[in-house]
């Protein structure tokens, strides 16, 4: 099951609902690992913007099961898409998901204050 982005940013100036906070925390938890951040970077910079597990094990220096585990977490968080082709699975970033998270974490511009007399 993919984790959907919450509707409201915790920085929007209004309280975030518990369910939205839990969704956002789940996605941020997927980000909060150095190997997963590297995976996102490696996939983004790969030819055609996609990579298989076998393309990622050597650059990470991790075993195939460990890389697969991290890819599953990123996919379940909705940050990666998985495309099965024969015996291989290829992963690519979901740009809209990455952009949505960036928007949620970007504070709104300071609102101009009205001058009082």
> What's the pLDDT at 34?
94
18-105 belongs to which CATH class? mainly alpha
> What's the pLDDT at 31?
85
Q: How far is CA 47 from the centre of its chain?
A: 20
> What's the pLDDT at 63?
95
> What's the pLDDT at 12?
61
Mean per-residue pLDDT pooled into runs of 10, the chain (117 residues): 54 72 84 93 93 94 95 94 92 87 71 52
> What's the pLDDT at 93?
94
């Amino acid at each position: 099951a993919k984790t959907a982005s919450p509707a409201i940013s915790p920085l929007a100036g209004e309280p975030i609902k518990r369910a939205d906070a839990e969704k956002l925390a789940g996605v941020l938890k997927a980000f909060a690992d150095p190997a997963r951040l590297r995976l996102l970077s490696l996939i983004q910079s790969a030819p055609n913007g996609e990579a298989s597990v076998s393309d990622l094990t050597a650059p990470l220096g991790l075993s195939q099961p460990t890389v697969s585990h991290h890819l599953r977490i990123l996919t379940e968080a909705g940050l990666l898409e998985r495309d099965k082709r024969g015996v291989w699975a290829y992963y690519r970033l979901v740009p809209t998901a990455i952009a949505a998270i960036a928007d949620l974490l970007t504070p709104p511009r300071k609102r101009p204050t009205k001058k009082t007399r």
